[in-house]
Chains A and B, each alone.
Chain A
Amino acid sequence: MESRNTKESIFKHLDWSVIVLYLLLVAAGVVSIYAASYDFDNASVFDFEEFSGKQIRWIGLSFFLGLVLLLVDSRMYETYAYPIYFGVLALLLVTIFIAPNIKGSHSWLVLGPMSLQPAEFGKFATALALAKLFSGYNFALNAAKINYVKAGAIIVAPILLILAQNETGSALVYLSLAFVLYREGMSGLVLYAFVFAIVAFVVTVKFTATAILGATTGQFVILMLIELTMIAMAAFHSKHPNAARMLGLWFGATLLIDVLLSLVGVHVPGLPYFITVIIIGAGYCVYEYLKTRIIKLWFIVAGALVAILFMFSVNYVFNSALQPHQQMRIKVALGIEDDPLKAGYNVNQAKIAIGSGGFSGKGFLEGTQTKLKYVPEQHTDFIFCTIGEEEGFVGSVAVIVLFLILILRVIAIAERQPSAFGRVYAYCVASYLILHLCINIGMVIGLCPVIGIPLPFFSYGGSSLWGFTVLLFILLRIDASRRNVRNY
């Protein structure tokens, strides 16, 4: 309590490292946008008719916005968290009906000369609401099941509204808040199941051409992963080392037998064999439960069965539930289909742009892929291509490292918050950044399916820039006055 809440003290306690990172990213963003939209007719950076010029105007407004946000009393954010949240939800709802149809999506509000995407502002509002929920007196996520429902409702409401606007990419971003729930006590198993589901999906869809021990490579990998997960759960989750040892012996022995059989020429059908092995392993866990009454053993049984069912349903889901263009996008992203002229065109040209940059890049404004418009959406979602092509490996890695530092810094800031409100809010910011980074860069380098979400601070557009500016500056404001917060 050394200082009072004055303007002077705010700037004294501001986390300047985040501000420097923010300025670096925004500046690099403008330069990239200038490069991405540079034409042979050579326009000025400050020409407000050009993307870079417009972006500078957006940045100027962002700075003003940031300053305003810093001047607001940090308690206001906590106090008005729910009103803000519901206000934005209302805006999202209204947008569905009044927004014009732009490429099938109803997500842009046209206000005179500019248009805004309310979905971008849903992020900070949802973060505030979630933080507010967790800052309740003696609130603990695991204290009651209803808490999960509440948190889930806060997260799902904007997702539904944004999906209704036909902005799947932006909606997906909110799923990243699972990280926040995890930090606040949600079982790691849920997160693991999440990651496992994605990995299992990718692996089973992708590796169907080769076979190991009578099963496709994809199925084999997943079956082995299920076995390892069961052993690990017995050891670390159920805290039953004996059961883990027994499962290990069982799985090891059955695998060895199968290998030996195939060496002498007896080929057992892999899929039924290993499923039988896993079900027997699950049966053993039931037996152990009856012996020890360790409830957590049931998780292993349930996990194993769900995983096997999931494995079987992947093909069904992929082939029946997804639309052909979505299947194609996923196949292209996974490198199963090579279709450089149709679905794969964007990704292929993006990869060519980045790949052709080499170690040090072609030089500023020298990128042919981007200058000649081979890369689509190059000033927005595919902005990373310009960096990859013109600044090469050095520039691309520098951008990734800048983001990495920023995210780790935000996590550090989160952990130093005395209040749950500050901490949860900060983790929300970190989660959004992680997901944007993963998907945006992942898609341009061909590791993720093409999901149209911007690269924070880089991609052209006021909404995204403002959205992240608001997120970051509210965090800075909360962090600056963390010493004023009483511990409950």
Chain B
Amino acid sequence: MRKDYKLEKRKYIIGGFVVLIALIYVFRLYSLQINDERYKESADNNAFLKKTIYPSRGLIKDRNGELVVYNQPAYDVMMIPRDVQPFDTVDFCNTLNITREQFDNRLIDMRRSPGYSTYTPQVLMTQLSAADYGRLQEKLYRYPGFFIQKRILRQYNYTAAANVLGNIREVSQADIERDSYYFRGDYIGDLGVERSYDEYLRGIKGQEILIRDAHGRIQGRYADGTKDIPAQSGRNLKLSLDINLQAYAESLMVNKIGAVVAIEPKTGEILAMVSSPTYDPTTLIGRARGQNYAALNADPLHPLFDRALMGAYPPGSTFKPGQGLILLQEDIITPQTAYPCYHGFISGGLKVGCHGHGSPLPLKPALQTSCNAYFCWGLKAMLDNHKKKYGSVANAFETWKLHLVSMGYGYRLGVDLPSEGRGFIPNAKFYNKIYGENRWSANTIISIAIGQGEILATPLQIANVCATIANRGWFITPHVVKEIEDTVMPAELLEKRYPTIDKAHYDVVAEGMRMAVTGGTCRLANLPDIEVAGKTGTAQNPHGKDHSAFIGFAPYDDPKIAVCVYVENAGFGATYGVPIGSLVIEKYLNGKISPARQYLEERMLNSNTIIYSGVKKH
């Protein structure tokens, strides 16, 4: 046969076609294998089921090592939607004790949630009861795609200190977006130290990598578990709180609205911090949490509102020791300076009433008797008669204000708890706005001299001033956590802070407070074996009966406790403030109440002042 050379050339076309196809395929392989990382990820997502191992949450103990908060396991039912195969839904629902509707609704909720993916574990039901858990565990093999995730819930040894301890709740979408640690279904600290120390308490999650085949069956552990990451338990906390003192103080505050704050002056450690009415922290555990939380939220007495931290109260006469310090520091008075009191402060048609006592008085007896006139005259002297020193009323007022701020009034102290309030100390601008520039003087605003008027403070701030006087000139930022396991406490909770008052002036004020106990308004706090110094407060307020307040510290020469008691609408400071404050002091220092004072304890435990608050409970 003759070779047809023309046709033979067609081998190049055919060969060329093959080469072209090969090149296209090589290019395609390049783009799949080298140019695109997503496939590697997809393959890993297919093959590796990453199961989170939850660390146990750090335990919380009190200052004496008493266990306060511990963990209890709970079980969540999880599902990986794409691994789920048709199953007996009726049996499944029966096992879990839910209706078909509940199950379907739960599925719909789950699909709607923002983190939904068919490839990753989704929370179907949280916090199974032990019985449900047991039943489901037995049948789990029938339901591929479902598994049980062990979680940690909290349990409490005491019903006290709910406001300090806080609790845990399921994370919100905002939590997830804010902190990459969290995934849907995780728990996060809510309120109290659970919130503020969450990063220490929560620990570090571990990861178990399992190999999963196309049917969703687990084929074993990846690399024999060598690539697994063990969970690291959260750090334990040691509170500065004395849980027994806390419980005692709470019992004294039963049926009262208000707060008690007890601080160890030398360390700034909060020994007790009561907000009343309070609640039982165990009601916020587990599945009942939502309902109980809503009920607490709706309670007209606002038990979730931490009055010790957030309450803004007129300090009343508990403000006077601080006033004395400022007047001494500014050389407005000396300890010998005496001011008259004609049953009150009378100036230019203005009268601030006072009760019967000798006149004129120097500072110490003025504190002892809680003389209103003295401090009004003092403030008037500072604002009106010293224009040469300050130039103007406004400047004098600003000086006064800065001293208060240095004592911790007007701004957040920086306690290691969430949502601290800041109270309120007005500045000159504030009054300029109300009265007009240079249109106000001491007389216009005289009630602030006795802790009334615009002045507002939190019980924590008031207690802190008391601790400062106990220390004769310094304080440490109050805090509720004494130790974090294996961690150094933050420096700002250990450093001394000095108000702008010379140390020398404190003794005068402290002596005045001592006199108030030995022979003044606080005589009920005069314990036979403990030298207490104190100051009452009776604060007028627009809500009804006066608030009853007390600050005090003891022992006088070596203070171990400084207390602030604030009872809303309970009348004179001496009626509720002093008894409660002195009982807390006695209980803390002596461990018991002397028989002679048990009548007082009895009276406090059984009295009810909520009736004066105007709030109708339910």
Contacts and interface: CB of A to CB of B under 8 A. Distances in A.
Nearest to A191: B13
Contacts of B14: 179, 182-183, 411, 427, 430, 434
Interface in A456-488: 487-488
Interface in B11-52: 11, 13-15, 17-19, 21-22, 24-26, 28-30, 32-34, 36, 38-40, 42-44, 46-48
Contacts of B30: 393
B8 to A, nearest CB: 6
Given A388-B29, A388-B33, A397-B29, A351 B39 contact: yes
Contacts of A374: 43, 46-47, 213-214
A97 interface: no
A403 B82 CA distance: 39
Contacts of B180: none
Q: Report, as a range, how many residues of chain B touch the other chain.
A: 35 or more
B2 to A, nearest CB: 9
Contacts of A438: 21
B47 A372 contact: yes
Interface residues of A, number: 53
A184 interface: yes
Given A353-B43, A372-B46, A430-B14, A359 B34 contact: yes
B47 A401 contact: no
Contacts of A357: 33
A19 interface: no
A407 B15 CA distance: 8
Contacts of B13: 182, 188
A368 B1 contact: no
Contact of B29 (A183, A354, A373, A411): A354
Nearest to A373: B214
A222 interface: no
A415 B8 contact: yes
A313 B440 CA distance: 94
B29 A445 contact: yes
Q: Which applies to chain A's interface (DSSP): helix, strand, loop or mixed?
A: helix
B178 interface: no
B33 A392 contact: yes
Contacts of A430: 14
Interface string A408-437: 100100110001100000010010001001
B214 A354 contact: no
Contact of A355 (B24, B39, B212): B39
B487 interface: no
A375 B366 CA distance: 91
Contact of A447 (B17, B24, B38): B24
B215 interface: yes
Nearest to A348: B42
A415 B4 CA distance: 11
Nearest to A340: B42
A404 interface: yes
Contacts of B220: 40
Given A359-B34, A393-B33, A400 B25 contact: yes
A357 B29 CA distance: 10
A435 to B, nearest CB: 10
A392 B8 CA distance: 38
A369 B10 contact: no
Nearest to A360: B33
Interface in B281-313: none
B491 interface: no
B7 interface: yes
A189 to B, nearest CB: 13
Contact of B47 (A138, A185, A368, A446): A368
A221 interface: no
Contact of A415 (B11, B46, B82, B214): B11
Nearest to B2: A487
Interface of B: 1, 4, 7-8, 10-11, 13-15, 17-19, 21-22, 24-26, 28-30, 32-34, 36, 38-40, 42-44, 46-48, 82, 211-215, 219-220
Interface of A: 40, 138, 179, 182-185, 188, 341, 349, 351-359, 368-369, 372-374, 388-389, 392-393, 396-397, 400-401, 403-404, 407-408, 411, 414-415, 419-420, 427, 430, 434, 437-438, 441-442, 445-447, 487-488
Please provide the 5 A-B residue pairs with the shortest distance between their CB atoms, ordered closest to farther: A355-B39, A368-B47, A356-B43, A372-B213, A355-B32
24 contacts: A179-B14, A184-B7, A185-B4, A188-B10, A354-B39, A355-B36, A368-B43, A368-B44, A368-B48, A372-B47, A372-B219, A373-B214, A373-B215, A396-B29, A401-B22, A404-B19, A408-B19, A411-B18, A419-B1, A427-B14, A434-B17, A445-B29, A445-B32, A488-B1
